[in-house]
Structure 1
Amino acid sequence: MPELNQLNDLEKQLGGHFISDGFELFEFGEAKHDGWSDAQEFIDAFIPFAYANGSGAGYALWRVDDRADLATLPIAVFGDEGGIRLTARNLRDLLRQLACDRPLRVDWGGASFAEYDGYHREREGAAEAHATYVEWLNQHFGLAPADDPDELIYAVENELGERFEAWIKPFIEEG
């Protein structure tokens, strides 16, 4: 995906500093969700690509259909403490959420971006890395941080939440 390749280049440029609290790309498609279900249909329906927070939650594209442009697929998050939720309608919405630099919380009850507490920006270079990301986002995609990243979660839940819940239910036992 060109967008993720560009983001990967930016992460390399930043020398290990997070662009957003806890977000970090990993090998595209690396199976980090196969412990949730052993059903091949479930495993094939998600394309993992990044850690969502510092405690192990992970983002994946949900193959809701067979569209060719993967960047337009909805984004799901696999919670480190349980729960699989939709977080964004597409990659651009996720990029706008990340520009808010707030930690993502996810469990069986839902997903939301917590209020910013600032601890990670106190590390040397962290604030500059995030500012570089926000500038990069505007230059490459003409996008700005979301006014409220949770509004983008509500949007995808309103659009696809019931469909996602119905699809995932046969594969997952809620904790």
Structure 2
Amino acid sequence: MLDLHQFIALFQGRPVPEDLIRLGGFQNVVKTQYTQSLWLTDHEKRGLEAGWSTDPAFLERLVAFGVANGSGSFYALWNPDDGSEPAEWPVVVFGDEGGEWVIARNLRELLQLSGLDVEPYVDHESAYFFIDEDEEDEDKYASDAIEDYREWLREVAQLDPLADPDPVVERARAQWQAQFDAWKAPYLEGR
């Protein structure tokens, strides 16, 4: 069960995106895996500290908010320090095998990507969503509540799930990856 008060505290007084509050409520109701590519948590900051940096300036600009896959990758919103609200910050996936990749331009794009019900693959070279074209395999590995999530996505978030993740990921990288790489470099040198 997601403790919404602790989850809200992750944002350190900044406005918490309404979509995350609503998704947290949905997650607490369904109480089962609703997509393979997102599960909200309030403890991923420990992963940032353990695997990347404990520098307060690094941690101040990142809000780690959810699990990205079953092997330990996680998502964080990155504050590009442009005056925008957290709901508009780019989403970065931090890989359990390493690598830090902008995967969505904002939270709403991540919610749409999550409707695919596939884990992102993340390593030092790239991050992407692999879609298996075999429908039989797709059904075999479908999350218990994926249809409930897709319905939530349409009715509550007013978003359609995506059929193809690549254009969203490519646009996000084109807009934000170079700027994110330049920002993170001093904190991650020698790691």
CA apart distance, 1:174? 7.8
* CA distances 1:65-104 after superposition (whole Å, capped 9, x unpaired): 1535211110011100000111100000000000111111
Q: Which residue of 1 aligns with 2:33?
A: 18
Unaligned runs of 5+ residues in structure 2 are 1-15
Contact 1:48/1:58, CA 8 A, preserved across alignment: yes
Query: CA separation of 1:151/1:80 partners in 2, compared to 1, >3 Å: closer, same or farther?
Result: same
Please list every run of 5 or more consecutive structure 1 residues that lacks an aligned counterpart in the other structure.
Answer: none
Cα deviation for residue 3 of structure 1 reads 1.2
Partner of 1:21, secondary structure, is coil
Query: Which 4+ stretches in 1 moved above 4 angstroms?
Result: none
**Amino acid of the residue matched to residue 112 of structure 1?**
Y
Checking the alignment, whether the CA contact within 8 Å between 1:59 and 1:75 is kept in structure 2 is yes
RMSD in angstroms over aligned alpha carbons? 2.0
Count of matched residue positions in the alignment of Structure 1 and Structure 2: 169
What secondary structure does 1:159 align onto?
A: helix
2:129 matches 1:113: yes
Tell whether 2:169 aligns with 1:153.
Answer: yes
User: Quick check: 1:33 aligned with 2:60?
Assistant: no
State the identity as a percent: 33
Amino acid at match of 2:57: E
Partner in structure 2 of residue 166 of structure 1: 182
**Deviations, residues 20-59 of structure 1 (Å, cap 9, x unaligned):** 1142110177443112012221111110100000011010
Normalised to the residue count of structure 1, the TM-score between the two structures is: 0.88
Q: What one-letter code is carried by the residue in structure 1 that aligns with 2:39?
A: E
What is the one-letter code of the residue matched to 1:102?
Answer: V
Within 5 Å, which residues of 2 pair with 1:56-95?
56-65=72-81, 67=83, 69-95=85-111
Paired letter, 1:98: S
TM-score of the pair, normalised by structure 2: 0.81
